[in-house]
Amino acid sequence: MTPVRRPRSPSRGRRLPNPKLRSSVLLDVPSSVTRLFESPLLTVGEFRCPPDDTAWRETNLIGDRPHVVFPRIPVLIQHVDEAPVLATPNETMLYNADQRYVRELRNQAGDNCVYIELHHESLALLAEEGAGLIDSSYRLVASHAPADHRTYLLQHLLIRHLKAPDPDPLLAEETAATLVLSALRDRPASARRRRGSTKAAHTALAEAAKTELASAPARLTLSELARRLHSSAFHLARVFRVETGFSLHGFRQTLRLRAGLERLSSHAGDLSTLALELGFSSHSHFSERFRNEFGVSPSELGDERHVRALLEATARG
């Protein structure tokens, strides 16, 4: 039997209590798991797994609480006894308590994600608020769901706020709760009842297309992609939208824009280079698409002085 790897405990981190609030901010955790915020309702943190870590060769265990995870880079995730999923920034990955899974490397950086760990009573409370991905036994009914532009931007801003010198615990907890409810609100269209063989075939086709799109050249055509996947172009376009919630072009462009969002801080003052690295024709082309996706310009999002105001505005919807 493949050994089960338990996550390295983040409890060694330094706890910075706020005596006026029941929640606190957690920093300086010397491991691949970094807890940034904890309250009686939920925990928010970051997870990084370098490509040489033994976790890539073992079966992993998520822990004893459900998790909602926002990938920053592509990684293949397979829950035990389920089909593999290419986890990208366009998806929210979902884990029940004690979920076992394996991961496969798809990016030279390894694995890098944001997670929200839900405390035991949280799924029941979320179900009462209309979370459609939670069943009557208070378990998550899917391994992943599409992440819309607001959800991705909100989790990005939340992490930056928590790393700021004086994060607001109430704002952080409310934002995290909003994120989770948004992620779990609706069942994907792919969850509709279909014959098992048809569903499996459609899922496999969409996952193969995601893998191609995550590394595809900018000039890839629908016909070429369909030929690579031994499918008709019309069938591929229809199935992909049903399975992922994205068009093929939208999926690829959204991946590029979300990669750009994560790299803004490392390209401060040099957006032209970033735009070209991501496959956009110019600084203006990138900025226009970025604003269309996130509702704000790259320069505004790159300025740490604006993070809290942007977080508050995005959380209000």
Same domain for 49 and 161, yes or no, is yes
Confidence of residue 190 (pLDDT cuts 50, 70, 90): low
Same domain for 201 and 180, yes or no, is no
Q: Between β-strands 75-79 and 85-87, what pairing exists: parallel, antiparallel or unpaired? A: antiparallel
Same domain for 123 and 152, yes or no, is yes
Same domain for 57 and 127, yes or no, is yes
- Domain holding 289, by residue range, is 250-316
pLDDT of residue 14: 34
Tell me the pLDDT tens digit for each residue of 85-102: 999 999 999 999 999 999
CA distances from 302 to 94, 213, 257 (A): 29, 27, 14
Cα–Cα dist 231/248, whole Å: 14
pLDDT of residue 313: 87
Same domain for 236 and 119, yes or no, is no
Per-residue pLDDT, averaged over 13-34, amounts to 45
Q: How many domains does the chain have?
A: 3
Cα–Cα dist 119/263, whole Å: 31
Same domain for 165 and 120, yes or no, is yes
Domain stop point among 201, 220, 244:
244
pLDDT of residue 23: 45
Same domain for 159 and 213, yes or no, is no
Copy the structure tokens of residue 45.
Answer: 């943190």
CA distances from 197 to 21, 234, 236 (A): 52, 20, 17
Burial 121-158 (b: 16+ CB within 10 A, else e): ebbebbbeeebebbeeebebebbbbbbbbbbbbbbbbb
Residue 38 has pLDDT above 80, yes or no: yes
Same domain for 30 and 143, yes or no, is yes
pLDDT of residue 60: 94
Same domain for 122 and 31, yes or no, is yes
What CATH number is associated with residue 292? 1.10.10.60
Residue 24 has pLDDT above 60, yes or no: no
Same domain for 182 and 309, yes or no, is no
Per-residue pLDDT, averaged over 236-256, amounts to 94
Same domain for 33 and 161, yes or no, is yes
Same domain for 110 and 86, yes or no, is yes
Tell me the pLDDT tens digit for each residue of 191-238: 555 567 788 999 999 999 999 999 876 678 999 999 999 999 999 999
Domain stop point among 204, 225, 244:
244
What CATH number is associated with residue 71? 2.60.120.280
Domain stop point among 244, 260, 286:
244
- Enumerate the β-bridge partners of residue 17: 24
Tell me the pLDDT tens digit for each residue of 141-187: 999 999 999 999 999 999 999 999 999 999 999 999 999 999 998 76
